[in-house]
Amino acid sequence: MMVEKNWGRIICISSYVALHGYPGDTPYGAAKAGLLGLTMSLAKEAAAKGITVNAIIPGYVPTDMTNGLFDTQEKVDSQIQLIPIHRPGKPEEIADMVNFLVFKGEYITGSVIRVDGGLGM
C-alpha cells in the first residue's frame, strides 16, 4: 500500500540492548540489533518510493515488559542512576518521537534515534 501511494513511514522500535548488550538477553539483543540492519537496508530501498524508515532506541522505560527485569527496587534504582538525567523514560516520550517521525520527519530516513535520557552515551 505504501508503494502504491508513494508515501509511507516505517518505524522500528529497537532497544538499548541492541547496541550495548545485556547479560542473559543475547537472543533479544540479537533480534533488536537485526532491526537496525533492517532499518538501514530498507531505508535505502524504500526512499525512492517516498517511504522513510527509521529506528528508535528507547532507554529504560517502565512497562509491563521491563517490570520483570529487576527483582528489587534497589536494582531498579541502580539502573536509573546509570541514566544521565536520573529518571526512567515515559512511554509517551517514545510515542512523541514516533509521532514526530510520522508527521514531521519527511527528510529523515535510515536514522537510529536514541530516546534514552543519555543512557547510550
For residue 66, is it within any domain?
Answer: yes
Per-residue b/e over 38-57, b at no fewer than 16 CB within 10 Å?
ebbebbeebeeeebbbbbbb
What's the CATH number where 51 sits?
3.40.50.720
Name the H helices within the chain. Answer: 2-5, 16-20, 26-46, 73-81, 91-103
Q: Which of 36, 50, 53, 41 is nearest to 108 (CA)?
A: 53
pLDDT digits (tens, 9 = 90+) for 93-104: 999 999 999 999
For residue 88, is it within any domain?
Answer: yes
Active site residue 22: no
The pLDDT confidence band at residue 82, using thresholds 50, 70 and 90, is very high
pLDDT digits (tens, 9 = 90+) for 28-79: 999 999 999 999 999 999 999 999 999 999 999 998 888 777 778 888 898 8
Domain ranges, residue 92 = 2-115
For residue 121, is it within any domain?
Answer: no
Of the residues 16, 22, 28, 60, only one is catalytic, namely 28
> Which pTM does this prediction carry?
0.92
Give the integer Cα–Cα distance in Å for 39 and 77: 32
Number of domains into which the chain is organized: 1
